[in-house]
Structure 1
């Protein structure tokens, strides 16, 4: 009985070895477009600098400024960076995100009359060309994009 068990086990091991060997070779591909599995995710760093100005080119302080990737319909904290303008109307946002060529810069007046009046919220579309990505390295880091802008807001009537 013990010999029958050992022979059966050897026979099953032999069949499984042959089957796995055939399956292993059948997964090989000659097509060079097949990409190997790699761990990680592509990313890039974005830096948006600018000034918020009123109609007479005077700086507006304490406005909320958000950078939102346009390929996302979500407006949640995980995918946006928020800051406020300083007394000179300057803002700077630096964030890392999946490489995209479309961002929205949203400026909102959230303090009412405190900054010299009520201003209409403004959304500015940012289009990024692939040539703007600098300092890329490896397979995953696409590079860094720096964009400077002046955004003019109108007063609410």
Structure 2
């Protein structure tokens, strides 16, 4: 009886001691703690600064315009939504796999709240390289578009 009891005790103590190294070997460390170039694919990443200003035909800034920066590829849909501030400015910094163009869309979504209703506008913009790099990091780019919207 003592031998059976001792075997059960050894097994009960050994199981947790063996489980800890086994489970810890399955854990993955964060290889990129700064999340500097963390992208969803193995493509080279680049930094993009999306900037611009939205005005009416008189040159007055328009606040509250929704700006969609679509930088999708044939395989992956990627887009960011921004809104203009009271000076009509919009700005976004992002790190993503390199893309050849952005499709910018401007929509008045608040009706009369910003001084009237404005017609939507869309335009394709090619990024301008501001920093050349090599290896995995693909450099830095600016995507700039100042848009003028007409009243409906």
Give the TM-score normalised by the residue count of structure 2: 0.66
Pick closer, same or farther for the CA change 1:107–1:59 going to 2, 3 Å.
same
Give the match for residue 57 of structure 1.
Answer: 59
How many residue pairs were aligned? 112
**Residue-by-residue CA offset, 1:40-89 (whole Å, 9 max, x unaligned):** 431111111111000101000011111111535876xxx21111101110
1:34 corresponding residue in structure 2: none
For the aligned residue pairs, the C-alpha RMSD in angstroms reads 2.2
> Radius of gyration: which is bigger?
1
2:137 is aligned, of 141, 149, 152, to 141
Q: TM-score, normalised by structure 1?
A: 0.64
What are the ranges of 5 or more consecutive residues in structure 1 without an aligned counterpart?
A: 1-38
More strand by share: 2
Gap runs ≥5 in structure 2: 1-40
Partners of 1:72 and 1:50 in 2: how far apart? 26
| Superposition misfits of 4+ residues, deviation over 2 angstroms | 70-75
Q: 1:58 to 1:81 in 2, by over 3 A?
A: same
